[in-house]
Every structure is written in C-alpha cells, then in structure tokens.
Structure 1
Amino acid sequence: MKTNKATVLTFAEKCKSILSSNWQGQLNTIKADAKGSKEDIYTSKIKYICKRGKPYIWVPEKELHNVNLIVDERSSFSVANPIPGPLASLLRSIKKLPARVALTGDVVPLTDEKAQSATKVLREVMLSEQTAISASSYTVSGVLSSSDHSRTSRSENLKDLLEGDEKYIVYKFNQRSCTYIDGNGSTHDIDQEDIGGSKADPLAPLSAKLIDGINQSVARRRALMLFCLTYKNANAKDAYMLSVDRKGFDILSKVAGPLLKDGIGQYQWKEFRFTLKEEARDVESFCSQLVEMEEDAVKEVSSHSGLA
C-alpha cells in the first residue's frame, strides 16, 4: 500500500484534479412546479470554474435550472476527466468510460458583488492557461499546439461566458458529498476532510491539451509503445496516453491477449502505469522527464539490438 500511495494520486487528489482540468459538467436539479418540488430530475451541461477547489457554475438565464433552484437548492454535479480527440473515439469503441467525479450539495446564487468576483477569477483562469502556453519551451509548445484547441482549451471553451450575448446567473456549489468513479465504474466515496485538505495536481489545467497533443502525434505514440516494451516487457501494437499527473502517467496499450484453444491469441487494450523519477512541478518538468525516458528507452532497445 505504501508504494501505491507514493506513485499515484489519492482519490481526493484525483477528484480535485478532474474538477481543475475540465470546464463543463452535468448539473442535475429537481423539477419544480406551482405545487413545489417534485422528484423528476432536469439535466443539462453547464460551464464552471473552480475557486479554492469549489465549483462556481454559470447557468444561462433561460435554463429551467434557475426555476428549479428557487424551490429546491438540492442538486448534483458530475464532471468527467476530459478525454479529447482520438482517445475519446477509442474509449467509446471499447466501451470504457473516463474517470469522473459526482458531487451532491446545494446550489446557491451569488450576490452581484460576489458574481463580479467570480467573473474576475474566471478571467484569471483563462489568462493563466494562455500565459503558461506562451512561456513554455519549444518542445512543450509543440506538444500543446498539436492538440485540438477547440476541444482541449479551457480558455477557448469558457470565453463565451464573457464574450457571448447570452446572460448567465452565477452560482456557488456547496458540496455535501463527493464520489470518485474510476474508468471501470467502481465508486469511491471521499471524506470531506480529505477533499478539503487536498490540492489539484499542477498538471491538471493543461492535462487535456497535453494528452491530446501526445496522442495526435504518430511519433509520440510510437514512443509510448516503446515504453511498454522497455519498461513493462509488453509488445504493444498501438498505444495512447490516457492520463498524466505530477507522479507519472497511464498508457492504454493494445497488447496480445492470452492464447485461445486453437492457439490463436487476440489483442486487447490494457492499462500500464509509469512513475516519474521526480514529481513534475509543471508541464515543462513533465515533458522533460518524458523526453529522458524516450531517450533511455531507445538506448535500451538499441543495446539489445546490438547484442542480437
């Protein structure tokens, strides 16, 4: 257990990281009518940001949520780990869901003054992404710019909240419970104290761009296949970056499965966890260690080829 805690994020950290990496979630409120609250649920996708780890959501004025919340503040909010580009298509084809967070709690409207404060934080969140990208090295900017900007950029997806014609009501989501749901559908209830004491991973805000930038490159995916061979002794036919964090990364690889009765084996998709030598403090540090691992893997394969 000690090894696991040292090489992977805690469930609380994973929840915080998912909330910090995405910008859109599914809000569920209880439908209301003139007689009061009913048990029917109204659901729609809503954009949000996190301030000190807590979601602030922007609900369009025309949305039914606003009527529902006047009668009953209780709601739930679900946010998935953003999985863009070719990886999304693959996960759908193998019927694998991205990890996600499910929150329950009360949605409280902000006063005009607090709504303005939240909007200021929204601008800061958008600016921080642009600043981080512009300050990155040639290698890192190459990876990030390879991603599908319209699907992986928080600033691109949030700018309608500031520049669009639609009007919004800003709410704070006061959570009562938090559940982490992994890619296999297993649920893990998180203690509120653990959530309060945890921080989002430093790579989270740019993780969608980083993952997609790697997966959009044939050369970089070949490097992932090389990782599987060198570090896990697994001969991968294909590979995708599945997730990244300060401690390491997960690769989804297409490897040979067990032989069947007729002696023929089928390929199956399998996850592998890779641990970094040092915790990555930012995307720059992560990419630097990734390049080192690539170089080491190439040397390892070359040395064995030479012996052969």
Structure 2
Amino acid sequence: MKGKTVALTFAERIRNIVTANWQAQLNTIKVDAKGSKDDIYSSKVHYMFKKGKPYIWIREGDLHNMNIIIDERASLSVSSIIPGPLMGLLRSIRKLPARVALAGDIRPLKDDKAQIVTESLAESVMSEYETVSQASYSVSAILSSASTSSRSRSKNLQEILNESSNYNVYKFNIRSCTYIDGSGGTHDVEPEDVKASKADMLLPFSEKIIDGINQSPTRRRALIFFCFEYYNATARDALMLSIDWNGFDVLAKVPETITSSGLSQQYGWKEFRFTFTEEARDIEAFCHMLVELEEEALQSVKSYSGLG
C-alpha cells in the first residue's frame, strides 16, 4: 500500500462518480407555446458517460423532450453510489453523499448517431455480464455477499436496451462541472479535466462491491484491522464508503475523546483513505489487492497479539 494520505483530485472524484453511476437527476426549463418559463422541471434519467460526455436516454412522453426543443440549457446531478446500510449511517451522522453538478446544453441525436451510442451501451453491458460470469472466486464471494436490492449497473441499463424504441437519446455538452462534498462544500473543475476511462471494468461494479463488503461481518472486521494497522486507530466498526482505481475510502467508528485512564468516552465516525501500490483497473485487480491487504492485516494483528 502507498502512502496512506494520498488523496484523489476533485476531477478524479467527479470521474469516479459519473462513471460508476447510471442514473441522474436532469433539470430543464419548463416551456409552453410562448417559450421558456422560470420554472424548472426535474426527473430521473438513465445515462452513460463516454469520451467525457454524458449520453442520456429520456423516455418518450417525458416533459424534458418538449423543453429541450425550445431551450437547450440543462443541468445534471449525479450522486455517489451509496448502497445498503451505508445510506442509513450517513443519514444518522448528517453526512450527505458526495455528488456532481453539471451544467450545459442538451441536444438530441439523429437516428444514426443514436443507434451508434445505443450499440456502444449494449457492448458495455455485455462486457460487464461477461466479467461477472468469468469472475474468480474472490470476486464472486464479494459480489454474492451483496443484498438483492443492490443491482449491478449492467442490469439497470439493460432495461433501456430492452425498450430502446421508447427512448430518445441526447448528448449533454458540459459547460461547467462542480464537485459537492458530504458537507455541502463546492469545488469547481474544468470540464476537460474530467476524462472517462477507455475501458473501466471496476467502477461499474461499485455498488455491488461496496455492499458485498459491508454485508460481510468478516470483511468489515478486516476494515477495522486496516484502520489499526495503517492509522493506529482503534475502531469499533467500519464500512466501505467508496472504491476507485487507486484505492478505497472507509468510514470507521473511532474514539473522539479519551479519559486519563485511557478509556474512550465517546465514539464518532471518521473517514480514512487507503491507497494501492498500483492502479486496480478492473474488478479482479481490485479484489485481489483487497484480499492481499486483508491477509497482511490479519497476520499483523496476530503478531501483535502473540498468535503469529
């Protein structure tokens, strides 16, 4: 593991969020026969992030289709993946999921371009299915631990492909890009600095990997070991918060105040960053590195306790 304090840039955080997710909140300006109004219309839409741009599928009959004809200005809000027990925890500590706010222009694609984008989506979905079907035991063990409510991105996007004739496809040209952290702080990033990977075979599985780890008592204990081994922090509990090519973030319950006798009086949730020695470009590499870290941490704890 690298230096534990290596942090992601805001551009990297934005890329990770928009690449991992498949659903966003689209906002367009309401229109009528007289033109644009001041009111904003919002609804959830499906999208794919490709070559630095979101491509959006909007169901026929949705008011967005009419609004865009008159006024192309729009904004898109994408939240980080927060599955299972993690969302309940964040709410209890009043921490919001990190999210991305994009402002720009949305334009319809002609039939031939729309077909090309939809075929690209189909290829991406098929590739994700193949990755899962060929996964090693360590990967399958994590994915199978996820709750049934945690679905892979490919399964969600498959719904679009099954009903593609009922959707219109749009390209979203980004004019401004903002990262919003869990405390509500905003950080502007140049759109050209947010680049999508050519073939990302890790982030599309974020939801199931995070939930699979958090649903496993054994793996959560390993996260506790990580906090002790790399930060000398004695945690009561820990949850995987996010994953990426470079490592992962953990939310751990650690002492906030200590009495003179050394006994903790109060515990609070704190975020810890762990960085890999090399990039994990796919799900196999990530899970392999995670398992190696678990084994190292376990051996270290045993040596401390005199069991090694």
| TM-score (norm: length of structure 2) | 0.91
Distance in 2, matches of 1:111 and 1:188, equals 34
| Residue of structure 1 equivalent to 2:218 | 219
For residues 81-100 of structure 1, what are the structure 2 equivalents within 5 Å?
A: 81-100=80-99
| Residue of structure 1 equivalent to 2:159 | 160
Distance in 1, matches of 2:4 and 2:20, equals 22
Deviation of 1:4 (Å):
8.8
SS of the residue corresponding to residue 278 of structure 2 reads coil
Q: Which moved more, 1:186-195 or 1:234-243?
A: 186-195
2:202 touches 2:283 (CA, 8 Å); kept in 1? yes
Distance in 1, matches of 2:30 and 2:159, equals 27
| Residue of structure 2 equivalent to 1:301 | 301
Closer, same or farther in 2 for the Cα pair 1:280/1:212, shift >3 Å?
Answer: same
Provide the identity percentage: 59
Distance in 2, matches of 1:107 and 1:185, equals 26
| Residue of structure 2 equivalent to 1:127 | 126
1:42 touches 1:65 (CA, 8 Å); kept in 2? yes
Closer, same or farther in 2 for the Cα pair 1:197/1:79, shift >3 Å?
Answer: closer
Whichever residue aligns with residue 143 of structure 1, its letter is: I
Q: Which moved more, 1:8-17 or 1:108-117?
A: 8-17
Cα deviation, 1:120-146, whole Å, max 9, x if unaligned, reads 011112112111112221111111122
| TM-score (norm: length of structure 1) | 0.91
Distance in 1, matches of 2:197 and 2:122, equals 24
For residues 269-284 of structure 1, what are the structure 2 equivalents within 5 Å?
A: 269-284=269-284
Deviant stretches of 4+, over 2 Å: 3-10, 148-152, 195-203
SS of the residue corresponding to residue 228 of structure 1 reads helix
Deviation of 1:289 (Å):
1.7
The question of 1:289 aligning with 2:292 is answered no
1:23 touches 1:158 (CA, 8 Å); kept in 2? yes
Cα deviation, 1:233-265, whole Å, max 9, x if unaligned, reads 11111110001112211100011212589x972
For residues 1-308 of structure 1, what are the structure 2 equivalents within 5 Å?
A: 7-148=6-147, 150-164=149-163, 167-196=166-195, 203-259=202-258, 265-306=265-306
Q: Which moved more, 1:39-48 or 1:185-194?
A: 185-194
Distance in 1, matches of 2:191 and 2:3, equals 22
Question: Could you say what the CA RMSD is over the residues aligned between the two structures, in angstroms?
Answer: 2.5
2:28 touches 2:74 (CA, 8 Å); kept in 1? yes
2:151 touches 2:208 (CA, 8 Å); kept in 1? yes
1:202 touches 1:281 (CA, 8 Å); kept in 2? yes
Runs of at least 5 residues in structure 2 that lack an aligned partner in the other structure: none
